[in-house]
Structure 1
Amino acid sequence: MNRQFAYPKGYSAYPRGGGGTFSISPHKFQPRSQPALRRRRQLFVKLSALAGLSLLLLFLLVPSWRALILPSISVGLFSSSHDDLSLETVRYYDLSDTQGTAMGWHREERVLMCTPLRDAAAHLPMFFSHLRNLTYPHHLIDLAFLVSDSKDDTLESLSARLTELQNDPDPKMPFGEISVIEKDFGQQVNQDVESRHGFAAQAGRRKLMAQARNWLLSATLRPTHSWVYWRDADVETAPFTILEDLMRHNKDVIVPNVWRPLPDWLGGEQPYDLNSWQESETALALADTLDEDAVIVEGYAEYATWRPHLAYLRDPYGDPDMELEIDGVGGVSILAKAKVFRSGVHFPAFSFEKHAETEGFGKMAKRMKFSVVGLPHYTIWHLYEPSVDDLRHMEEMEIERQQREEKEKEEKAEAERQQKMKQDTKEEYEQGSATAKKNTDKAAGQEADQRQTEAESSEKESSAKGEKEDAIPRNPEKEGSSQDKSNDKTY
């Protein structure tokens, strides 16, 4: 068997060097020179430094990279607290910091301001003017709107005004987070006064409004909110400090008094919101006689509850900070602590103790031992919306006004005509008097001239006669005897 012969020191039987068949050029596998290795090491160092700097920048600027890199670096060696949770999908909230206090603006407590809108385009200019004037720090107020069942351009107008508000150059003007939700609830009741406030529509309308409020609240309430403020868009006048004024009372639920201005011919003013009231024995007895799904509404002859209404307790000169415990609340302006809603209180879209929506909300809050108060002497003013009767009466008044103005116009024209006639008569009289005087003076002058002429004629005749007598010869004896006779007769 042929075996390969090995030489000492490990050399094989193949020839080494020379020009044999198996000779290998040794220069192909010799180590690289030192400058080439140095350049390669420098390149590796630069690439490593660049990679490290890139990772550092990503770690500092991109939170998601921190969340990925930090656990790998720590390898579980460092314990993490709640403040160290840095995952993008994890949030930690301490709700003890959002309970709501009397000095919320000092503690930078956030307020969620909720406003349901339906065919409210005409009211938005007035509403946004109120928003601009609020003195509570705007960056602490989050706005939430629900546009439902609208037939006008409420949504478009709202979007335009929000854009203008948030782009205001005044840094104190823009608000915090803004949510606009659009959802229809099948509300068929028209927005005119007669339809909205008609007794037949109240129960169904209130239940759908309760659904709208609950949808808006559940979609926009955040763990960072300490207060929830409900405000209707058709409030005409309210203090700019209303949030601070209501918040200072530190109540779970608080409402102001709501009136509305009226024309002078209707009395000047009137209570508007009758849904803020204290419970009465008569109302409780009435509730026991109604069906399970019935809803009691205030201000209608069909339900005589004889409850003390917050609106009728108003004194224009009373203390605006005076508090009154109430059971039902009106929805025009409500300030409530967020914990009330987090505890499960909501706006019942069903008959809760024979009430729904805001009145049911007040009853439910009282049932859960929250404080519910109203301020009888702290008043805001709702926009006046004339009813059909008011419009009819105003049309009658307008007709009467036009008739009165027409009559006054005719009387004025008649008076001017009479005055003109008197003036013309006076002028004619004065002209006639002047003419008569002129004629009289002329006649007098002519008479004087005639008398003068006659006198001159008489004088001429006398002169002629005298001259004639002088021309006649006289008899002295006769004259003397005549003179003696006359003397004798005289004496």
Structure 2
Amino acid sequence: MRYKNFVNHSTLVSTCGTLLAVWVLFRLLFSSSSSFSLNTLPFFKPFVPNFKNVPGVEYYDLRNYQGDRDGWQRGNRILFLVPLRDAAQHLPRFFGHMSELSYPHNLIDMSFLVSDSSDDTMGELLHHLQIAQSQKDRNKRFGNIEIFEKDFGQAIGQSFSDRHGFAAQGPRRKLMARARNWLGSVTLKPYHSWVYWRDVDVEIAPISIMEDLMHHDRDVIVPNVWRPLPDWLGNIQPYDLNSWKESEAGIQLANTLTDEDSVIVEGYPEFATWRTHLAYMRDPNGNPEDEMELDGIGGVSILAKAKVFRTGSHFPAFSFEKHAETEAFGKLSRRMNYNVVGLPHYVIWHIYEPSTEDLKHMAWMAEEEKRILDETRLREFYDRIWEVGFDDVRMDWSDERQSILKNLDHTEAYENQIVVDWSDNDESDITPDEKVQNRLQEEVIDEHPQDEVPLDFDPDNN
């Protein structure tokens, strides 16, 4: 009897141990997989408290907002973040892109930060939002929209040379990091699964960019960014050089910078890092699904899972490992064991912004074009004058002479002969009475031009 009870107790312990081992195995294999979740099994359903009858209380289980690779099918909400500064001219194109996005619009919450603007960015933003949210097709309307206005004392200009000049990079990156952190911290809600950062001055991007990036199921992912150029500059060019993989030269350079506020900025001869840049890895015929591990990333287009920011990753507004803003965000996220990747063959296009040197060259080209045009016109004019001046017109004169003589009536010419008085009489010596008498005689002659004086006329009656 004792043996039987001992066997039953051992069997119970073994069964419990087996179930516990299976549960742990399931947790290890499937709890982090987006394709399968323990919550789908009825006996693994977590306890959900019911606060429906408690006014003012909202309950969120953050396990439900981890970010799925097929989020557009699972109802994942995206927080679409857009910093704006003097962006009025870019907003029409930006909202044109937004209206064409294939991701469900009702799952996109947009938040804008308008800062340090001197143009009508706010007015233009309100105008386009009114149009977007007033569409008859409610499926085209977006979810929640928030607008924030806050200045950060940005003293750097918005021209290409101002924003991309070497001297401005460190302070500019730190200020931009502050703006990004402020916008992200006040807008991220517990029900957001993804966060997408997008610059307003993107010219061309696929309408399916959300789905294209999301289905890679990476914590942080960026596309390749190029820009079109005028033909005289080479047609196209890599734009975003902030997405890169660390190199030994980069690490050594960072170690040589003793100033704790120093910031390495990529793509400038002052900092030769010899890193592998995502932009230069592009192959027009490459597979857009190919991935490349990155350390630093650019900020033109970033898709990240919301949990990356919830767990503390951000855009350092200080020198973090000698980097700041988006490049430092990539490095910090890697330190937190999140995967950071880029797509070398998946490209979006930034607008072309001429630098100061480009503007000078374009002005020279315009003057040169005008000079060549004036020179061509002058040459054509002199060529015409030269041809006319040396034309053989002898045959033309012969033809004209015959035409003149052929149409000339000599009879009428003789009857209308012109008589010239070559006498030496000076009218100035004639008295007024003589002038009157002469005029009367002329009138008499004019009135009786045919009267003839009889031959036997004797005025003295002799």
In 2, the alpha carbon distance for the partners of 1:81 and 1:149 equals 45
Residues 88-131 of structure 1 deviation map (CA, whole Å, 9 limit, x = unaligned):
31001111111111111111110000000011111111111111
Determine which structure has the larger helix proportion and give its number.
1
The residue correspondences of 1:136-285 to structure 2 (distance < 5 A) are 136-285=103-252
AA in 2 matched with 1:342: R
Q: CA deviation at 1:352?
A: 0.9
Match of 1:350 in 2: 318
Following superposition, the deviation at residue 293 of structure 1 comes to 1.8
Which of 340, 343, 347 aligns to 1:375? It is 343
- Which of 275, 284, 293 lines up with 2:261 in the alignment? 293
1:100 alignment counterpart = 67
| Partner residue, 2:58 | 91
Is the Cα contact below 8 Å between 2:295 and 2:340 reproduced in 1?
yes
Counterpart code for 1:172: N
- Structure 2 distance, partners of 1:86, 1:429, is 114
Q: What code does the residue aligned with 1:279 have?
A: E
- 1:37-56 pair list within 5 angstroms: none
* Superposition CA RMSD, Å: 2.0
Structure 2 residue aligned with 1:398? 366
Confirm whether residue 333 of structure 1 aligns to residue 320 of structure 2: no
Deviations 1:440-469 (A, max 9, x none): xxxxxxxxxxxxxxxxxxxxxxxxxxxxxx
Question: Which amino acid is 2:264 matched to?
Answer: I
In the alignment, the residues of structure 2 paired with residue 118 and residue 81 of structure 1 have an alpha-carbon distance, to the nearest angstrom, of 44
Cα 1:116–1:432 change in 2 (3 A) is same
Residues 432 and 382 of structure 1, relative CA distance in 2, 3 Å threshold:
same
The letter of the residue matching 2:350 is: H
For 1:242 and 1:82, the matched residues in 2 are separated by 37
Give the TM-score normalised by structure 2: 0.74
SS across alignment from 1:377: strand
| Superposed displacement of residue 170, structure 1 | 2.5
Structure 2 vs 1, CA of residues 434 and 373 (structure 1 numbering), >3 Å: closer, same or farther? same
Q: Distance in 1 between matches of 2:48 and 2:287?
A: 50
Local SS of the residue matching 1:106: helix
Q: Could you say which residue in structure 1 is the equivalent of 2:452?
A: none
| Structure 2 Cα separation of the partners of residues 435 and 322 of structure 1 | 84
Q: Give the letter aligned to residue 341 of structure 1.
A: F
List per-residue Cα deviations over 1:69-100 (Å, max 9, x = no partner): xxxxxxxxxxx962353323100111111111
Q: CA deviation at 1:436?
A: 9.2
Structure 1 344/436 Cα, relative in aligned 2: closer, same or farther at 3 Å? same
Secondary structure in 2 matching 1:379: strand
**4+ long deviations beyond 6 Å:** 435-438
TM-score (norm 1): 0.70
SS of the aligned residue for 2:72 comes to coil
Q: Which runs of 5+ in 2 are unaligned?
A: 1-46, 404-462
Alpha-carbon separation, structure 2, partners of 1:280 and 1:257 = 19
CA offset digits 1:43-87 (Å, max 9, x no partner): xxxxxxxxxxxxxxxxxxxxxxxxxxxxxxxxxxxxx96235332
Q: Which runs of 5+ in 1 are unaligned?
A: 1-79, 439-491
Q: What is the one-letter code of the residue matched to 2:95?
A: F
The answer to whether 1:389 aligns with 2:349 is no
Alpha-carbon distance in structure 1 between the residues aligned to 2:400 and 2:98: 81
Is the partner of 1:322 in helix, strand or coil? Answer: coil
Partner of 2:377: 409
* Cα distance in 1 for residues equivalent to 2:198 and 2:161: 22
Mark the CA change 1:153 to 1:437 in structure 2 (over 3 Å): closer, same or farther.
Answer: closer
Amino acid at match of 1:278: K
Residue of structure 1 equivalent to 2:441: none
How far has the Cα of 1:415 moved from its partner? 3.5
User: How big is the shift at 1:430?
Assistant: 3.6
The aligned counterpart of 1:315 is 283
Give how far 1:231 is off: 0.2
Match of 1:304 in 2: 272
Cα distance in 2 for partners of 1:174, 1:293 equals 44
1:62 maps to none
The one-character-per-residue Cα deviations of 1:288-329 (angstroms, maximum 9, x if unpaired) are 111222111101111111100111111111111110001000
What secondary structure, in the 3-state scheme, does the structure 2 residue paired with 1:412 have?
A: helix
1:389 is matched by which residue type in structure 2?
Answer: E
Partner Cα distance (2:396, 2:167) in 1? 79
The answer to whether structure 1 residue 431 and structure 2 residue 396 are counterparts is yes
Partners of 2:80 and 2:61 lie apart in 1 by 22
User: Which AA in structure 2 matches 1:89?
Assistant: G
Q: Distance in 1 between matches of 2:389 and 2:205?
A: 59
Which deviates further from its counterpart, 169-178 or 343-352?
169-178
Counterparts of 1:391 and 1:437, CA distance in 2: 65
Cα drift, residue 434 of structure 1: 4.7
Q: Which amino acid aligns with 2:159?
A: D
- Residue 101 of structure 2 is matched in structure 1 by 134
SS at match of 1:335: strand
Measured after TM superposition, the shift of residue 237 of structure 1 is: 0.8
Cα distance between partner residues in 2 of 1:242 and 1:162: 21
Which residue does the alignment assign to 1:69? none
Shift of 1:214: 0.6
Letter in 2 for 1:232: D
Greater Cα radius of gyration, structure 1 or 2: 1
CA–CA distance in structure 2, aligned partners of residues 251 and 130 of structure 1: 24
